[in-house]
């Protein structure tokens, strides 16, 4: 196993992690932005008002994106397991 291989493998794993987390982070960002605008307009400064919509948005996004995320993770894992003999050379 060469250092180049380890760096490339880590790069693929980190890229997949970012790729899978972006939809959930994006939904949380959009929900937070909407709540912030609502709070600024109404001058309601309730702390729990910021967390609940974000959690709901992320869970709903996870509910819809879970099959796609599982497919991506399964494909990556199968690729890793299929190439184990090549990795140990």
pLDDT above 70 covers what percent of the chain? 100
Helix/strand/coil for 5: helix
Output the pLDDT for position 43. 87
HSE-CB for 44 with a 13 A CA cutoff: 11
Average pLDDT, the chain: 91
Residue 89: pLDDT above 80?
Answer: no
Domain parsing of the chain, residue ranges? 3-87
36-47 confidence digits (pLDDT tens): 999 889 888 887
Burial grade of 57 (CB within 10 A; 0-12, 13-18, 19 or more)? buried
Which pLDDT belongs to residue 75? 96
Asked whether the beta carbons of 45 and 39 are under 8 A apart, the reply is yes
Geometric angle at alpha carbon 62, from 55 and 52, rounded to 5°: 10
pLDDT in tens, 2-59: 888 889 999 999 999 999 999 999 999 999 999 999 988 988 888 788 899 999 999 9
């Amino acid at each position: 196993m060469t250092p180049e291989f380890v760096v490339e493998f880590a790069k693929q794993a980190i890229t997949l992690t970012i790729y899978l987390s972006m939809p959930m982070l994006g939904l949380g960002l959009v929900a937070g932005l909407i709540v912030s605008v609502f709070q600024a307009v109404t001058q309601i400064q309730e702390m729990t008002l910021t967390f609940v919509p974000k959690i709901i948005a992320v869970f709903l996004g996870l509910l819809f994106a879970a099959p796609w995320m599982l497919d991506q993770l399964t494909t990556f894992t199968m690729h890793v397991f299929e190439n184990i003999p090549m990795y140990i050379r």
